[in-house]
Amino acid sequence: MTRTVLIAPDSFGDSLTAVQAAQCIATGWHAARAEDRLILAPQSDGGPGFADVLAGRLGEVRTERVSGPLDVEVDARWVFDPESPATAYLECAQACGLALLGGPPTVRTALDAHTRGVGQLIDAALAAGARRIVVGLGGSGSTDGGRGMIDALGGLDAARERLAGIELIAASDVEHPLLGPRGAAAVFGPQKGADPATVAALEDRLTEWAQHLDAAAGRPIRDDPGAGAAGGLGAALLALGARRESGAAIIAEHTGLDADLDAADLVITGEGRFDDQSLHGKVVSALAAGARRRGVPVLVLAGQVTLPDAELKAAGIAAAHSVADHAGSVQRAIDDAADQLTGLASAVAATWA
């Protein structure tokens, strides 16, 4: 029986972009089920791959030389759609991402990494005539609360003046506040190399910075959902007048996801690590919800899977398969990500009834 299969993964950490992951899954699936019709629709929640996914659907891809998270300059890709209103789509991971640290994160990088390059991207968008600026948040290596971005734009007062009249959107599905046990330092700091003492130092630094952000915004933005996104970059954008929107929803709109879901008999999605966070505002949860409304089964192919079957079923997911299990080890799954994901997709396709 021929099926229409929608292949809509997020990125697999630093191993594969969403575009690459979709192609790997498609290649593997087609090898086992050549008769199926495949729709490739790579997704993003605002993190790594946000710009690349949009680049395949709209606007013009531009490259800007900006400061990376540790001052070494990097080439950051962004997308400019000149149609009214002229819109720039920026991805913070292109300027301050974990993958740009030059190696594994450490205590030193956790303290030193900054968001100056994001401010330079905003500056380039303004110079291009953008009237709306969408900043995808996620995958950052920094926890500076957006201070580097603000400095690059000339300081809080100057930045607010420059962005007055500009529609500014923080694209993120992270709901964490800036401070506290659910804040940027406590939750995400350890992923960026911070040990407990460094987490405490980052929290102190963010607490001091939050006073300035709250004063500029005229309200306590530190408590807003999403203020802790991208190491507190979300809070800085909110202080500049941004509103938060779902990154996954923005991508879904521009990739025509609803129409693709209407046509699908099966949905395949995935990401680097499929855990409890995946079911709260991430790409997988958004796809599962849309598919469940249509009675379409969902398969997840992920680097690692830590959720029990009961939680999968409650989320409307038929099954989840691990690349690490298929490869025999996490390290091989990372080092040989493309071939292992392709092989897993082929194996699942051969047995899927």
Q: Which domains occur in the chain, in start order?
A: 4-43+256-351 (3.40.50.10350), 50-248 (3.90.1510.10)
Tokens 């500049």 locate to 240
Q: What is the pLDDT of residues 169-194, one digit of tens each?
A: 999 988 999 999 999 999 999 999 99
pLDDT at 280: 67
Per-residue pLDDT for 115 more than 70? yes
Q: Per the confidence metrics, is the pTM higher than 0.85?
A: yes
Percent of the chain whose pLDDT exceeds 70: 99
DSSP of 16-58 = B-HHHHHHHHHHHHHHH-TTSEEEE----SSSTTHHHHHHTTS
pLDDT at 251: 87
Rounded Cα distance, 48 and 98, in Å: 10
- 83 close to 109: Cβ distance less than 8 angstroms: no
pLDDT at 47: 85
Q: What is the pLDDT of residues 208-220, one digit of tens each?
A: 999 999 999 999 9
Rounded Cα distance, 6 and 282, in Å: 17
pLDDT at 284: 84
Closest by CA position to 255, among listed 12, 40, 74, 111? 40
Tokens 């900054």 locate to 114
Across the range 24-39, mean pLDDT stands at 96
Average pLDDT in the chain: 93
Q: What is the pLDDT of residues 278-336, one digit of tens each?
A: 766 678 888 888 999 999 999 999 999 888 888 888 888 899 999 999 999 999 999 99
pLDDT at 307: 80
